Structures are given as structure tokens and as C-alpha cells.
Amino acid sequence: MLDCIIVGAGPAGSAAAYHLAKQGRSVLVVEKASLPRYKPCSGGVSPAIAQWFDFDFAPAISLHVTRLRYTWQLEDAVDAKLKDSQPMWVVRRDEFDRYLLQQAQQQGAQISPETTVTGIQFQGDHWQVSTNREPLTARYLIAADGANSAVSQWLGFKPVQPRPAGILEVQTEVSDPPVIHFDFGSIKNGFMWSFPKADGYSITAASFRGNAPKDLKSVLLDYAKSVGIDTSNSQYYEHGLAVWESDRPLHAQNALLVGEAACLVDPLSGEGIRPAILSGVKAAQAIDSALGGKASALEDYSAAIAEEWGADMAWAQKLAGAFYRFPGIGYKAAVKRPSATELMGKILCGQLRYGEVAGRALKRLSGGLLRG
């Protein structure tokens, strides 16, 4: 009988495993893929995650980036540099996820790759988990199986509709200094972004509301050609983003949802790794407390995520609604402002919350609309 089974070896599941194992709890992470495994992701990571761990992430970071470029339909460029904020980390997810999982293993967590969960059943005081291998039992269960989480549906949560995204992984020479590029206006209700890695670029297009373009691959190839990126050695993938829409319970009988299974992706920026790790850390604390006898621990987890992430995502959603409704005005009135880069950098680094700047930003967008 394990203390906890975690389904999914991404950042959320691995963070939960690390902190539970560190508290001496018996933890098993099951992952359907062989490890390490590729995960479609641009790889931008906020350095704010370091505060939740006591080890150095340096071996898992591909690049530190301070320079950004914004464009409107590939024109009207704005070049900016993070000054007061920490550099953004850019990672390759196979390496980053493996590193975080290794830290969990060093604390005593067990890992079972190539193990597909086929069903779950609560029996009295524990979960019976059926897999393509042997059945497993644990007192608690964490669903960390991503945007199309099967475990969350088996727990009784309504299925979500992830937002469509496409990513072009390109192996090529990278500019020096490396630059993160955001292009607005080329994708309706969304944007494109290009993150440099040590040996190439991850170029992503995503739509956050309404109808998405039907052929994201062509959009990305055209973008790469326009900015001079050689795509002769590239691979295209499609994936979904489980974007935050509203607060909802994230706990069930002896079970919690984390990461994209909990729909925590930022509806304005598309950031997903920081909230995933935050939820994994909070889930570990909750289950450790529940194992210690605290009856309200899992309910408290839902409340903590709503307070520490959901409250700010409500503001992000309002900003996204205003921006994507009139993106051209939003680009001129907000994105091009010299302070915009530093403000967003501080938000991503955990130094600011959307709620602290949203009022002023919405006023600027409204003012730009009136002038337009």
C-alpha cells in the first residue's frame, strides 16, 4: 500500500513526487511513455520556480534569455531587454522533466515508465489503480496526466476542450545574443512565439479563444521563412493547451488534479510550467497533511490554488478578452510601451501579479480604443 500514486511524469507530477518523498512518504510516479520523452512545449520557464526547491536547476537549463522582440504581423518591431527581472530560462522538456524526476528519485520516489493506467476504483480507504502491468494500490491519487486527462474524467470531473496549438521544432544555428520573439496579429485570438534553445528554436502558434486557424503548420513555416529561420531540419507537432477559464474544485475523494489536468495554463501568455509546478508543490503539501490526519487538507488545496493562481488568472482573462478583441490597438497601446516588457517579466518571475497592473492596462486599452 503506497501513500500516493501520481499519474504523469511532467513538471507537476514530478514536483509533487519530490516534495512528498522528501517528507518520507511512499510515492510512485507512473508514466505511459518511455523516459526521457519528448513533450511539445516552447520551453519558457520562470526562474520563480527555484523558490520551491532546494537544488540547482542549472543542469536542466538550455539558455538564459534577456532579450525580447515584439512584432505586429512581423512588422513594427520593438526590441526590449529584461533589466530588473531575472533572465528567462529556456529548457528542452525531455531534459528538464527528466532532471526534475531524477531529483524526486533521489528523495526516494519510485518511477514506473511505459505504464498506462487503464482504470481506477476507490475501495473503502484507498485507490485501486489498474494498469497495463500489475494493479497498484495507494491511499491517495494525483492526476498529472495533462490536458486530455483520463484520470480526471474517471474521478468525475467534466472533460475540457484544450485550445489548439502547433509547434515547429527546428534544429539550426541560433542568433547571438538569443532573442525570444512574440508576433501578434498573424493569428486570430492568439499569437506566435519563438523560443531559442542551445541548438535551435521552438516556434509555437496558439489561439486562446474562438476559432483557430485550420493549418497551423503552414502558418509556422511561413513565419519561420519570414524571419530567416532555416526549417530544413524541423519537425511539426500539434498539442492542446488546457487554459484556465474559472475556479473549480480540484479535489475528489482522496485525489487531486494538478498541472494541465487542473486547467492552469495562463489565458493571456500561455505560461504553463510555473503553474504546473506550483500545483504539484501545493498538492504534495495537501496530501502530506491529509496523511497526517487533517480532514480538510484536500479541500484546502483547491482553495489555495484558487487564491494563489486563480485570482490572478481572472485578471489575465479580462486582459486577454480586451486584447484579443482589438489586438492592433492592444499592440500599440500596451505591448509597445517601454514598461510592458519589464512588467511582464516581473509577472513571470513572480515579482508582480496581474491584479497589480490590470487596472492601468485595461484603461490604456480603453483609451487606445477611444483614440482609434
Q: What is the pTM of this model?
A: 0.94
Neighbours of 235 (CB within 10 A): 12
342 part of a folded domain: no
Query: CB burial class (10 A; 0-12, 13-18, 19+) of residue 303?
Result: middle
288 part of a folded domain: yes
Give the residue-averaged pLDDT of 292-304. 98
Under a CB-based contact definition with an 8 Å cutoff, are residues 268 and 319 in contact? yes
Domain containing 22 equals: 2-63+90-160+243-317
208 part of a folded domain: no
276 part of a folded domain: yes
Backbone angles phi, psi at 42, to 5 degrees: -70, -25
- Helices and strands (H and E) in the chain: how many: 10, 18
Under a CB-based contact definition with an 8 Å cutoff, are residues 278 and 225 in contact? no
265 part of a folded domain: yes
372 part of a folded domain: no
335 part of a folded domain: no
CA atoms within 13 Å, Cβ hemisphere of 216: 25
> How many domains does the chain divide into?
1
Residue 211 has pLDDT above 80, yes or no: no
Candidate from 131-140, 214-223, 362-371 with smallest mean pLDDT: 362-371
Helix or strand holding residue 367 (H, E) = helix 354-371
Question: CA-CA distance, 108 to 26, in Å (whole number)?
Answer: 8
Average pLDDT over the chain, rounded to an integer = 92
Say which residue the cell 489555495 belongs to. Answer: 304
Candidate from 54-63, 160-169, 325-334, 361-370 with smallest mean pLDDT: 361-370
CATH, residue 113: 3.50.50.60
Residues 6+ apart with CB under 8 A from 125: 139, 254
28 part of a folded domain: yes
pLDDT digits (tens, 9 = 90+) for 87-125: 999 999 999 999 999 999 999 999 999 999 999 999 999
Give the residue-averaged pLDDT of 33-40. 93
